[in-house]
Chains A and B, each alone.
Chain A
Amino acid sequence: MKYSHVPATLVAAAVAAAMLAGCNNAANSSATDAAAGAGVNPYAELVKWPDWSGVWEPARFAGRPSTDSGPPAPPKLTPEYAAKYAAFQEKNRKTPGLNFVTNVANCVPPGLPSSMNQPYPFEFLYTPGRVTILIETYSMVRRIYLDGQVNPEETDASYQGTSIGHWDGDTLVVETTNILPETSPMQGIVGHSDQFKVTERIRLEDPDTLAIETTVQDPAVFLEPYTTTSRYARHKDWHIYEYVCAQNNHDFVDEHGNAGFSLERKPGE
């Protein structure tokens, strides 16, 4: 091992010094590791984190206002994406009942930030150095690293991207990059560049209301960062259901973006 020649007491002293210095997240990580080795339970840090237990339902489905004063102002888009958005609006106007049709109808999960605005709830798990969000819809998982364990410069693109977080008091600040470019940066638009970045500030607004302020930015899509706030209602007595979209999906979207519905009944059903 690389540092096997370093006396253990020296390592402990260095760790102690780092802790006393009010170190950053990466240093906290090594402190946590060393503390675990020294017999300090790494889970002890979790009691300092805010109580986000229970299951969180999007407020608009819980019958509560989800924004401060109605729909947020529209974002300022680059000409290319303004044209895409206008085309969607026009199609929506011409087709009664048309919602934003994406590959999600074919059970391909949405990426961030859409994944946080699904109709069904999510829950938080706390473990040392990490906050995990389990989202019921499409059974999506977000891992938010607080301990420097993952370097976003070294990860590959994914639906939920690579999330690095830190606590600002009782607010969890999360910066996410490496989100797959075929996902939707906002309702009405599909696609973005590899510069797409999502910043979330997650906090309790009152004991049973969670507010997430989400800022999206991408020089290819937005002329300036675009911020919205979503709210979620706590349900202490709910549990998360299994959600396997491929179980019995009769809906689809074709290669032209048109919505379809299958009445095929599988043999034996």
Chain B
Amino acid sequence: MTLKKFIGPALAGLAAALLGFTASAHHSTAMFEWGKEKQLEGVIDKFQWTQPHAFIWLKVPGKNGKEQQFGLEGMSPSWLGRHHWNSRSLQVGQKVTIDYYPLRDGRPGGFFVRVKTADGKLLEGLPGGPGRGPPPPSAATAK
């Protein structure tokens, strides 16, 4: 089951279309395939509650038993902290499913969109998720 069931695909698409800039408080999103979600299942190796972005290091089991490390950037604590996240939202060793926008160059990393924990908790990582409406169209013109 994909996590998209938790929010309407239309809303997800709208958010993706509008929010390229939002993640980019201080940089471009050109290095990510913004709006093209992929999914990872793995174990939290480190959750960094840091500026300018929160960061998840995820251990993902590979095909031949070899573990791969993914580095996933997210929004900043400035946004996440005001939208149901805090520094204890994810714990080392926790099993999670993460939707993310992958890096264009194929390296194991990207931008995390939402995280679902094994006990069913859903953490939205971008504006437009439940509890927060999509931003107005004028957002598309912002930095």
Contact = CB atoms under 8 A, between A and B. Distances in A.
Partners in one complex: yes
Interface residues of B, number: 46
Nearest to B110: A261
B143 A263 contact: no
A253 B143 CA distance: 15
A136 B143 contact: no
Given A117-B142, A137-B78, A99 B29 contact: yes
Contacts of A120: 25, 76, 78-79
Contacts, number: 139
B142 A60 contact: yes
Contact of A241 (B20, B22, B78, B103): B78
Contacts of B27: 99, 101, 104-105, 251-253, 259
Given A71-B141, A243-B52, A250-B55, A261 B34 contact: no
A11 to B, nearest CB: 49
Q: Is the interface of B mostly helix, strand, loop or mixed?
A: loop
A263 B109 contact: yes
Interface in B2-51: 20-22, 24-32, 34, 46, 48, 50-51
A37 interface: no
A190 B1 CA distance: 46
B71 A263 contact: yes
Nearest to A184: B143
- List of 4 A-B pairs having minimum Cβ-Cβ separation, nearest first: A248-B50, A259-B28, A105-B27, A251-B27
A105 B26 contact: yes
Contacts of A125: none
A247 B77 CA distance: 12
Interface in B50-87: 50-53, 55, 57, 69, 71, 73, 76-79, 81-82
Given A100-B143, A136-B78, A248-B51, A260 B46 contact: no
Given A99-B30, A119-B22, A248-B50, 9 more contacts: A60-B138, A99-B24, A104-B27, A117-B142, A243-B52, A250-B71, A250-B73, A251-B52, A263-B109
Interface string A145-181: 0000000000000000000000000000000000000
A138 B29 CA distance: 19
Given A137-B25, A248-B50, A96 B109 contact: no
A184 to B, nearest CB: 9
A266 B134 CA distance: 36
Nearest to A105: B27
Interface in A93-140: 95-101, 104-105, 107, 114, 117-120, 136-138
B77 A99 contact: no
B71 A97 contact: no
Contacts of B53: 248-251
B26 A107 contact: yes
B136 A64 contact: yes
A249 B24 CA distance: 12
A241 B46 CA distance: 22
A96 B142 contact: no
B117 to A, nearest CB: 22
9 contacts: A95-B30, A97-B29, A104-B27, A137-B78, A241-B51, A250-B71, A251-B27, A252-B27, A263-B71
Nearest to B105: A261
Interface string B131-143: 0111111110111
A248 B142 CA distance: 24
B138 to A, nearest CB: 5
Nearest to A69: B138
Residue in B24, B25, B28, B29 whose Cβ sees the most chain A Cβ within 10 Å = B28
Nearest to A109: B26
Interface in A46-82: 60-61, 63-67, 70-71
